[in-house]
Amino acid sequence: MAKRRSIRDTLKGATRELEGAGVPDAPVEAERMLRHITGLKRHELYMERGHRLEAEEAALLEDLLWRRKKREPLAYITGEVEFRGIHLTVTKDVLIPRPETELLVERALNFLEGLEKPVIMDLCTGSGCIAVSLAVELLRKGVTTLIYATDISEAALEVARVNARANNATECVRFVRGDLFSPLEGLRLKDRADLIISNPPYVAAKERETLQPEVRDYEPPAALYAGEDGLDFIKRIIGGAGEYLRPGGLLLMEIGFSQARAVKGLASEKTGLRGVSIKKDLSGMDRIFEAVKKPAR
């Protein structure tokens, strides 16, 4: 019978294997794997570092390591990810939520502070991470909201619905299938939205080979690529936002770090938007576009 290894030794061994395969942040990834298979929280993992894994746990870890060394994202392997303190289901039908998008939600919450019953549109909702986290955090503050979340992929919307149910957000979020604003036509929402928010596809097709294998080979292309310059969806969102925002309402979008100048140029006078600005992410990269609809005269 093979000797059972302690959590301490298992972490060290898993980290070495992942580093050897070129996996980024190998120590963090190894820790997340151990937490997943043992059910231990982070501090518990280190308090129990002398604990020896059961045979079933060791076998599960080997499977996780084998898949991760092939550069399959850990979130797809475990089927879950944490986003702003809530747990979300993810599948290969949706983009994996990222820390940059948490900043987008933070900016939205700051803008919505003090508003009663805000009306929100989340375009390209994917896993529903933006819509669900906004609903959860607004409800926690005692704010009733109505969020319309659209996506062209029914498979993605199924994931988003699962996440809304798991986080008690179904009463606040309405998921609608369709392309950007199109499924919202006829719902009497024009000039009513306090906030339009989106993490749209924004990777240029020509940049595909520069992406990490985890992104290039596993995440859904429809959620990543947006034409030759990466601006296809961004152009359409900026072009249509003024029609749905109320005067003084805010458009928030995540963009590529090299797109700031081009995106700012799209928000011309005819779009009805003003106060255009770009905010940086935690790495100092241009990441969040925002603009306000001009108040009515």
Per residue in 243-261, pLDDT tens?
999 999 999 999 998 999 9
| Distance in angstroms (rounded) separating the CA atoms of residues 242 and 191 | 8
Q: Which pLDDT score, from 0 to 100, does residue 269 have? A: 67
Predicted TM-score (pTM) of the model is 0.92
Would you place residue 3 in the very low, low, confident or very high pLDDT band (cuts 50, 70, 90)? low
Q: Between helices 7-20 and 26-38, what is the axis angle to 10°?
A: 130
- What's the chain's average pLDDT? 93
Q: Say which residues have a Cβ less than 8 Å from residue 121's Cβ, sequence separation at least 6.
A: 147, 148, 149, 150, 181, 184, 189, 193, 195, 196, 197, 244
| Distance in angstroms (rounded) separating the CA atoms of residues 267 and 231 | 13
What are 23-50's pLDDT values in tens digits? 999 999 999 999 898 888 888 877 777 7
Q: Letter for the amino acid at 186?
A: G
Q: Which pLDDT score, from 0 to 100, does residue 43 have? A: 83
Strands (E), the chain: 80-83, 86-89, 119-123, 146-151, 173-177, 193-198, 245-254, 273-280, 286-293
Reference 177, options 147, 146, 156; nearest CA is 156
Would you place residue 22 in the very low, low, confident or very high pLDDT band (cuts 50, 70, 90)? very high
| Distance in angstroms (rounded) separating the CA atoms of residues 265 and 247 | 21
Q: Which pLDDT score, from 0 to 100, does residue 1 have? A: 37
Would you place residue 118 in the very low, low, confident or very high pLDDT band (cuts 50, 70, 90)? very high
Q: Is the pLDDT of residue 2 over 60?
A: no
Q: Which two tokens stand for residue 115?
A: 């508003």
Q: Which pLDDT score, from 0 to 100, does residue 49 have? A: 72
Rg (CA), the chain: 21
